[in-house]
Amino acid sequence: MQKVNDIEPFDEPGFYETGENKYEVIMTLEGFMFTPSEMEILAGSEVTPIMTSKDVTHWFQIAGTSVNAMVMPGYIQTITQTFSEPGEYLVEGDFISDEISAP
């Protein structure tokens, strides 16, 4: 059985320039953390997070943008966002239980 850390591109998470003002972020989500956990980009840059989960289904959102995704183990989630305005953007997330409760 392969582990996420052994599979490209997730064997080298990080922030990679792919063109002029274009970047890919190879991300893994696990527990309450994202790898990489911080990024700095120039305003006007196009960023494409390429994400997968190491454990459970995660909710992933970048506040103030249209980036909002469910990231599940065994699947790759890709979203592209242009950050037109300078500033700090909060990355929010949570993990989602596979169990459903009913009264």
The answer to the question of residue 52 being in a domain is: yes
Residue 96 lies in a domain: no
- Residue 78 falls within a domain, yes or no? yes
Write out pLDDT tens, residues 25-69. 999 998 888 888 888 888 999 999 999 999 899 988 888 898 999
For residue 70, is it within any domain? yes
Residue 80 domain-assigned?
Answer: yes
User: Could you give the number of structural domains in the chain?
Assistant: 1
- Per-residue pLDDT of 74-93, as tens digits, reads 899 999 999 998 888 888 88
Q: Is residue 77 part of a domain?
A: yes
Q: Which residues, including other chains, have CB under 8 Å from residue 59's CB and lie 6 or more apart?
A: 68, 69, 70, 71, 92, 93, 94, 95, 96
Residue 37 lies in a domain: yes
The residue range of the domain holding 42 is: 4-91
The candidate with the shortest Cα–Cα distance to 27, out of 88, 78, 80, 85, is: 78
